[in-house]
Amino acid sequence: MINKIHILGASGSGTSTLAKALSEKLGYKHFDTDDYYWIPTDEPFTKVRQIQDRQSLLQKDLTNTPQWILSGSLCGWGDMFVPYFDLVVFIWIPKEIRIKRLIEREQNRYGKEIETNGSRYQSFKEFIEWAASYDEADVETRSRAMHEQWISELKCPVIRIEGDITSSVQERVSKVLEMINTARA
C-alpha cells in the first residue's frame, strides 16, 4: 500500500501543486519541506531553522499521520526520512518554464517589493539566480545532480515526470494514481 509519498524537483517545477492536488484526491495530509526548513518571519524565507529542529518537527508530523504527501527537497538534512517513503515522484521541467513561473509567483507574492528599487529586490535576484542554476550546479547544493544521486540510492519505486510541460496537473495526478493503483493490485 502506498501511504507515504515524497515529491521533489527544482523550485518552480510544480512539486507543491502536484502534492496539493494529489492530497485532495486521495485525502492524504500534505506537508511541505519549506514549512520545516524556514522559520516563519514577517519577511518570509529569510531565517533558516536549525537542522535538528527541522528534523524533529517533520518527524513528529510524519510519524503521527498515517497517509501523507511531502513536497519539496529534503536531500541532506532529511535523509533520515527516506525509509518512510512508499513512493517518490521526481518532477523536472525546462529552466525557462520554471524561471518564468517563479518570477510570476514572486510578483504575485511581493508586487513592487521585488522591482529594482524594492525592499526585496536583492533577495529576489539572488533567489532567481539560485533557482536558475539547478540544472548545472553540483551535488553540494539543491540541484539536478544532487537529486539524481539521491534518487539512485532509493529503495522505493520512483516515478519520473520529466519535460512534460504540456500535461495538466490532473494528467500528472493520473500518472501517480496509476502507480498507486498498480501497487494495490
Q: What percent of the chain stands above pLDDT 90?
A: 86
Note down the domain range covering 18. 4-94+142-184
Q: What is the pLDDT of residue 36?
A: 98
Q: What's the per-residue H, E or C state across the chain?
A: CCCEEEEEECCCCCHHHHHHHHHHHHCCEEEECHHHHECCCCCCCCCECCHHHHHHHHHHHHHCCCCEEEECCCCCCCHHHHHHCCEEEEEECCHHHHHHHHHHHHHHHHHHHHCCCCCCHHHHHHHHHHHHCCCCCCCCCCCHHHHHHHHHCCCCCEEEEECCCCCCHHHHHHHHHHHHHHHHC
Q: What is the pLDDT of residue 142?
A: 92
Decide if 84 is inside a domain: yes
Q: What is the pLDDT of residue 43?
A: 82
Q: What is the pLDDT of residue 44?
A: 84
Q: What's 49's domain CATH number? A: 3.40.50.300
Decide if 58 is inside a domain: yes
| 184 band by pLDDT with thresholds 50, 70 and 90 | low
Decide if 10 is inside a domain: yes
Decide if 157 is inside a domain: yes
pLDDT single digits (tens) 15-68: 999 999 999 999 999 999 999 999 999 888 889 999 999 999 999 999 999 999
Q: Is 70 exceeded by the pLDDT of residue 72?
A: yes
The total domain count for the chain is 1
Decide if 11 is inside a domain: yes
Decide if 113 is inside a domain: no
Decide if 15 is inside a domain: yes
Decide if 99 is inside a domain: no
Q: What is the pLDDT of residue 163?
A: 83
pTM over 0.75: yes
